[in-house]
Amino acid sequence: MKSVFTIKLLGDLDAVTIEPYSSVIDKLITTITSPSVVLLDFSQVPYMNSTAIGNIAHWYSLFQDKESEVHMIGLNENIYDTLDLVGLLHIIPHHTSLEAFKAVIAAQS
Protein backbone atom coordinates (compact mmCIF):
# COMPACT_ATOMS: atom_id res chain seq x y z
CA MET A 1 0.00 0.00 0.00
CA LYS A 2 1.23 3.47 -0.89
CA SER A 3 1.95 6.03 1.79
CA VAL A 4 -0.58 8.87 1.86
CA PHE A 5 0.49 12.40 2.76
CA THR A 6 -2.20 15.02 3.38
CA ILE A 7 -1.51 18.71 2.95
CA LYS A 8 -4.32 20.88 4.30
CA LEU A 9 -4.29 24.24 2.57
CA LEU A 10 -5.72 27.20 4.50
CA GLY A 11 -6.95 30.62 3.45
CA ASP A 12 -6.52 32.51 0.21
CA LEU A 13 -3.69 31.15 -1.92
CA ASP A 14 -1.57 33.73 -3.74
CA ALA A 15 2.10 34.49 -4.38
CA VAL A 16 2.79 35.20 -0.70
CA THR A 17 0.64 32.61 1.03
CA ILE A 18 1.58 29.70 -1.25
CA GLU A 19 5.28 29.93 -0.33
CA PRO A 20 5.14 28.06 3.01
CA TYR A 21 3.31 25.20 1.28
CA SER A 22 5.94 25.14 -1.45
CA SER A 23 8.65 24.75 1.19
CA VAL A 24 6.80 21.85 2.83
CA ILE A 25 6.18 20.16 -0.50
CA ASP A 26 9.82 20.60 -1.58
CA LYS A 27 10.88 18.81 1.63
CA LEU A 28 8.30 16.08 1.09
CA ILE A 29 9.48 15.49 -2.46
CA THR A 30 13.07 15.00 -1.29
CA THR A 31 11.97 12.44 1.31
CA ILE A 32 9.76 10.29 -0.91
CA THR A 33 11.60 7.09 -1.77
CA SER A 34 8.71 4.99 -3.05
CA PRO A 35 5.48 5.71 -4.95
CA SER A 36 3.12 7.66 -2.69
CA VAL A 37 -0.15 9.56 -2.75
CA VAL A 38 -0.36 13.24 -1.89
CA LEU A 39 -3.77 14.61 -0.97
CA LEU A 40 -4.25 18.36 -1.28
CA ASP A 41 -7.18 19.41 0.90
CA PHE A 42 -8.74 22.67 -0.33
CA SER A 43 -11.72 22.63 2.05
CA GLN A 44 -10.48 25.80 3.83
CA VAL A 45 -9.44 27.68 0.66
CA PRO A 46 -11.92 30.34 -0.52
CA TYR A 47 -9.71 31.80 -3.28
CA MET A 48 -6.59 31.09 -5.31
CA ASN A 49 -4.81 33.10 -7.97
CA SER A 50 -2.72 32.15 -11.00
CA THR A 51 0.47 31.84 -8.95
CA ALA A 52 -1.13 29.18 -6.78
CA ILE A 53 -2.48 27.39 -9.84
CA GLY A 54 1.01 27.37 -11.34
CA ASN A 55 2.41 25.92 -8.13
CA ILE A 56 -0.17 23.13 -8.09
CA ALA A 57 0.71 22.22 -11.69
CA HIS A 58 4.41 22.26 -10.78
CA TRP A 59 3.86 20.09 -7.70
CA TYR A 60 1.91 17.62 -9.80
CA SER A 61 4.84 17.37 -12.20
CA LEU A 62 7.37 16.90 -9.39
CA PHE A 63 5.34 14.12 -7.76
CA GLN A 64 4.85 12.44 -11.13
CA ASP A 65 8.64 12.37 -11.47
CA LYS A 66 8.66 10.43 -8.17
CA GLU A 67 6.03 8.00 -9.55
CA SER A 68 3.58 9.43 -7.01
CA GLU A 69 -0.01 10.57 -7.32
CA VAL A 70 -1.63 13.87 -6.42
CA HIS A 71 -5.33 14.04 -5.51
CA MET A 72 -7.51 16.96 -4.45
CA ILE A 73 -10.54 17.27 -2.18
CA GLY A 74 -12.65 20.13 -0.83
CA LEU A 75 -12.82 22.25 -3.98
CA ASN A 76 -15.41 25.01 -3.67
CA GLU A 77 -17.37 25.98 -6.78
CA ASN A 78 -15.09 28.88 -7.79
CA ILE A 79 -11.89 26.90 -7.38
CA TYR A 80 -13.43 23.90 -9.14
CA ASP A 81 -14.46 26.08 -12.08
CA THR A 82 -11.04 27.75 -12.27
CA LEU A 83 -9.11 24.48 -12.15
CA ASP A 84 -11.47 23.04 -14.74
CA LEU A 85 -10.96 26.05 -17.01
CA VAL A 86 -7.15 25.74 -16.91
CA GLY A 87 -7.33 21.98 -17.43
CA LEU A 88 -5.94 20.76 -14.10
CA LEU A 89 -9.09 18.80 -13.27
CA HIS A 90 -8.43 16.74 -16.37
CA ILE A 91 -5.05 15.54 -15.08
CA ILE A 92 -5.29 15.67 -11.28
CA PRO A 93 -7.88 13.39 -9.69
CA HIS A 94 -10.34 15.26 -7.47
CA HIS A 95 -12.94 13.93 -5.07
CA THR A 96 -16.04 15.35 -3.43
CA SER A 97 -15.02 14.20 0.04
CA LEU A 98 -12.34 12.51 2.09
CA GLU A 99 -14.49 9.38 2.15
CA ALA A 100 -14.67 9.33 -1.67
CA PHE A 101 -10.87 9.70 -1.83
CA LYS A 102 -10.40 6.85 0.66
CA ALA A 103 -12.69 4.62 -1.40
CA VAL A 104 -10.63 5.23 -4.53
CA ILE A 105 -7.36 4.51 -2.71
CA ALA A 106 -8.81 1.36 -1.11
CA ALA A 107 -9.91 0.13 -4.54
CA GLN A 108 -6.34 0.54 -5.81
CA SER A 109 -4.95 -1.76 -3.11
d(CA 72, CA 6): 10
d(CA 63, CA 69): 6
Please tell me the distance from the alpha carbon of residue 74 to that of residue 18, in angstroms, as a whole number: 17
Domain that holds residue 103: 3-108
pLDDT digits (tens, 9 = 90+) for 27-64: 999 999 899 999 999 999 999 999 999 999 999 999 99
Note the pLDDT tens digit of each residue in 79-103.
999 999 999 999 999 999 999 999 9
Domain with residue 70: its CATH number is 3.30.750.24
Enter the pTM of the model: 0.94
State the total domains in the chain.
Answer: 1
